Amino acid sequence: MSAAHIFHPTVLREYDIRGIVGSTLNPADALAVGRSFGTVVVRKGGKTVCVGYDGRLSSPTLEEALVEGLMSTGLHVLRIGLGPTPMLYFATRDREAAAGIMITGSHNPPDYNGIKMMLGKGPVYGQQIQELGALAAAADWEVGEGSSEQIDVQDEYVARLLKDYDGLRDLTVAWDAGNGASGEILRRMTAKLPGKHILLFDDIDGTFPNHHPDPTVEKNLVDLKKAVAEHGCDLGIGFDGDGDRIGAIDHLGRVVWGDQLVALYAAEVLKSHPGATIIADVKASQALFDEIAKHGGVPLMWKTGHSLLKAKMAETGSPLAGEMSGHIFFADKWYGFDDALYCGIRLVGLVSKGGTTLAALRDGLPDMLNTPETRFQTSEERKFAVVEEVKGRLTAAGANVNDIDGVRVTTPDGWWLLRASNTQDVLVARAEAFSEEGLERLKAALIEQLLASGIEAPSFDGGGTAH
């Protein structure tokens, strides 16, 4: 019997597994995840698992160990190779596999990597991830003679992405793959998509030599803005490292943020799903929830986290959900998972058939003054405790607090949010107000709470941005 395995305490997160390669995450961990997750699948009667990996330098080695662990439980492993996380989700659904696992560090720095999992059609998160640790600690693993085979789903995936394109006029679009795992699929997809397409950094390179692959941070969109201007593009679309988060630029070079994209998609989706529930996370603008209601939908505020939103979508039958971070989920025509390539197709189609511009659609949304998502450095051990301390002080003071995910505090000026990141050792904050003065008051209130818990609180990035 194999020896038990203990994971580093910071690795088993709320909705995936994540760590620093060579420090908190190693091939031995991937092997143990394979054994533990494989055991869960086998005990549920599953026989086949799909596995994919992103473009990080450490990913092939981790994938080898993961597959070995899965096979040791008796499973048959379909190895789809290098590509974006949503291609793994697609393959798992398309091949009717019992489960799917992706080796990916998502949008984290190059020395990070991680594992995202799905069981059946749903995500693996929360207590399910902790149970993998318990199985490993007890060496409570199934043992069998498994097997594996390489399969290629790229052409099928691209064909399915393109199936829902409904544009009526050709557009010029700049796409920034950020040297992430989407590059090859993006080339194949845009080669068959009508219009003119300018591709940036579509070579997959795990060192991310051009910019960090996170399209929700404006400094990472400089090259995309430049391409949009130089080529007279109608819009620009960027992806994160594993292709499940989208960023967008209008033809004027302005960022269209995640909650604004959800608002635009919602207006369209609600035409064919009148009265449907549309879900957004606690970081989203109040303007988004108001827009959903305006178009006849039922707005639902939920916890941040791709697994958590996917699960809530399945529970409520929602056709669309989205996060400020650019994870956007279509169950309208699609499978309910977050796929930035598919979201890109839907955005190009929306603008193309609308006879308008993305800029005009963006300007049709209510203006709010808000801060970007701002991160305050802390430690893995301290981040959740700080949120609890802040919540305790605010509740005692009689503040209007929504604690569904961290603390979202509503005042006559607007609202501010403080929550612990599930993927990094940081606290995440955001504020939104109706006026500059109100925004300053909200920021001051938030900083006061951080200081009371001993967190150094620099000023928010970029001040107030109207959107």
Residues classed as catalytic: 106
Q: Kindly list the distances between the CA atom of residue 389 and the CA atoms of 223, 410, 429, in Å, as whole numbers in the listed order.
A: 41, 18, 15
d(CA 254, CA 261) in angstroms, rounded, equals 13
Amino acid present at 352: S
Q: Within 13 A of 283's CA, how many CA atoms are on the CB side?
A: 28
Indicate the SS3 state at residue 89: helix
Rounded Cα distance between 55 and 64, Å, is: 14
Coil, strand or helix at 133: helix
CA distance 433 to 411: 9
Instruction: Return the SS3 of 461.
Output: coil
Pick from 121, 99, 92: which is nearest to 314 by CA? 121
- Phi and psi dihedrals of 100, rounded to 5? -145, 145
Burial class, 403, CB count within 10 angstroms (exposed 0-12 / middle 13-18 / buried 19+): middle
Largest Cα separation within the chain, whole Å, is 66
